[in-house]
Structure 1
Amino acid sequence: MDKKSFDIVLDEIRKVMDILKYFSWAEPQIKAVKALQHKMVAIPTTKVANILNCFTFSKDRLIVLELIALNISDAQNFRPVEDLFRIHLSEKKRARRILEQ
C-alpha cells in the first residue's frame, strides 16, 4: 500500500473513532462500526486497538474485533490488541483466535 492510500485509511479510522465518541452506549457504537466497517480497509493492529479502546467492556470489544477482523492488515501482530484483554484469559484467547482466522 502506498503512502497516499495508507493516509486515506488512517483518515477513515479517525473518522470512525470520532463518530464512536458521539455515542455513550455500546449498542449504537457497535451499529456504527457495522455501518462503517467497509470503509476500514487494511487497518494496522495499533489502530484496531485504538478503536477497541472506545469500548468499555471486553465483550463489546470482542464483538467489534469480530466485525473488523477481516480488515486487519497485520493480524499476526496480535500484541496491541491482545493487551486490551488482560483480565480474563479466556477473552485474551478468544481475541487471539479471532485474529488468527
Structure 2
Amino acid sequence: MGYTFVFRYLLDACKRKTLSNSCCGRSGEKKLEEQRNQKKKLIEAANTEMKVKVAELDKKKAELEKKKAKVDEFIKAEKNERDVYIKRKKAEIDSIRAIPDNQITLGQ
C-alpha cells in the first residue's frame, strides 16, 4: 500500500509537472526541445519575412529616387528656359529704353 501511494504521487506530480523532468523521463526534455525548435523556426521565418520586405522597400525607394532625379532635371530645365526668356526680354526692354525719346515714332 505504501508503494502505491508513492507511485501515484510521482505519477500525479509528473502530470502536473511539479517535479523536475528527471523523474518523468525524457518526455519533458523532448517537449522542451520541440518548443525551442519551434521558437527558432518562428524567429527565422520572421527574419526572412523582414529581409524580403526591406528589400522590396529599398527597391521602391531606388525607383522613387530615379523618378525624383528626372523631375528635378525637368524642373531645372524649365527654370533655365524661364531665366533665359527673362534675360532676353529684359535686354529687349533695355534696348528700347536706350532709344532717345525724340527718335521714337508712334508707328514703332
The structure whose Rg is larger is 2
TM-score, normalising length: structure 2: 0.24
Whose helix fraction is larger, Structure 1's or Structure 2's? Answer: 2
Query: Per chain length, whose mean CA-contact separation is higher, i.e. which structure has more relative contact order (CA < 8 Å, sep 6+)?
Result: 1
TM-score, normalising length: structure 1: 0.26
